[in-house]
Amino acid sequence: MADANDKLKAFIRAEAIRLGFSDARFAAADAPERLATDLAGFVGAGYHGSMDWMVETAERRADPKVLWPEAKSIIVLAMNYGPDGDPLATTCMPDRGNISVYARNRDYHDIIKGKLKELAGKIASRSGADVKVFVDTAPVMEKPLAMQAGLGWQGKHTNLVSRELGSWFFLGSIFTTAEIVPDEPERDHCGSCCACLDACPTGAFPAPGRIDARRCISYLTIEHKGMIDAEFRAAMGNRIYGCDDCLAACPWNKFARSANEMKLQARADLEAPKLDFLLTLDDAAFRSLFTGSPIKRIGRNRFIRNCLIAAGNSGAARLAALCRNLLTDADPVVRATALWAISRLEGGEAARDALPKDETDLIVLGELESLGQ
């Protein structure tokens, strides 16, 4: 039996590597220790912000058996997306937009899910067991499961860290009814290092291993709808989709290799896009530019809101005219954020004078009132 199990694990690992995954490890389909308690504490503190789906799916997230009672084993897979160069280089280019490394290519859900399905099919054929595949759109707590499987450990920034891949990798999982001997869990190798915590521009970590999404730039630019609190706007700099600062600070990245080996290199037009161009996007142009990209999921209005904050932080006076054009946008959040950006580039009086006199939306008028403070 042990020999058959070892052969199945070796087969799965070999097929995973052939498909482009960087690693594959195994865990029992049991709830990781303290997962339910930690999740309840996170939600109870309100750290999830407006992500109500975390509350609605808490029971399934806390225990894989609730998600699929028949599951016996979980195969957790990693796919490297390490950047070629400095992932934060574009944060020093204020008139360009900085996009998180993972979103500079096509949507990773599409990349991984197809490969997971292919691997799962081979596992089912080989073992006769049932299988189900999950990427992070499903209520699976992949990071604690990956730590339980020995793939890595959750760093102080709450993301998974690997001694071979650093902080730059996607996760996917395959649940199966096959009983596979689990791998040994990975232990924490962070030691006294706090580089990731110190790197956060908005102080989103109330404690090591705890994140307050409401202060996280990734959450603010992707998940958060409506106006972004003035407290965070300057700290966002030119980050228009996601934030890599805590990931990039991890010393274990020195062992990571370029994702070019996996053919996941960035689209050239998304490495440092000009704000001059992005601020002109209407809905059709936005959809065309970001076809196949995870950025498309947040919609044009939220994206333009982010670009306007970047424009306001840029110090590039030429962008004020583009911001003025957006004072008549159909979306009130866009109009209000354009007002703020103009005030940053040209001053509060210029922003007040630029706003159309027939503006009646309370969001915009609230922003107008704040300019006098």
Question: Is 257 annotated as a binding-site member?
Answer: no
Among 310, 370, 289, residue whose Cα is nearest residue 93 = 310
Whether 198 sits among the annotated catalytic residues: the reply is no
Question: Is 243 annotated as a binding-site member?
Answer: yes
Angle at 98 between CA 256 and CA 250, to 5 degrees: 30
Question: Is 125 annotated as a binding-site member?
Answer: no
Question: Is 250 annotated as a binding-site member?
Answer: yes
Question: Is 216 annotated as a binding-site member?
Answer: yes
CA atoms within 13 A on the CB side of 87: 27
Question: Is 196 annotated as a binding-site member?
Answer: yes
Whether the Cβ atoms of residue 169 and residue 80 lie closer than 8 Å to each other: yes
Residues 38, 63, 136, 183: which is the catalytic one?
136
Whether the Cβ atoms of residue 22 and residue 79 lie closer than 8 Å to each other: yes
d(CA 73, CA 91): 42
Question: Is 190 annotated as a binding-site member?
Answer: yes
* 3-state SS class at 339: helix
The Cβ of residue 347 has, within 10 Å, a number of other Cβ atoms equal to 12
d(CA 94, CA 54): 34
Pairing of strands 98-99, 239-241: parallel
What stretches of 31-134 adopt beta strand conformation (E)?
73-80, 98-99, 131-134
Question: Is 274 annotated as a binding-site member?
Answer: no
Question: Is 281 annotated as a binding-site member?
Answer: no
Question: Is 92 annotated as a binding-site member?
Answer: no
Among 298, 283, 301, residue whose Cα is nearest residue 338 = 301
Question: Is 160 annotated as a binding-site member?
Answer: yes
As annotated, the active-site residues are 136
Q: Which residues are annotated as a binding site?
A: 61, 136, 160, 171, 190, 193, 196, 200, 216, 218, 225, 243-244, 246, 250
From the annotation, which residues make up the binding site for [4Fe-4S] cluster? 190, 193, 196, 200, 216, 243, 246, 250
User: Which residues make up each annotated binding site for cob(II)alamin?
Assistant: 61, 136, 160, 171, 218, 243-244
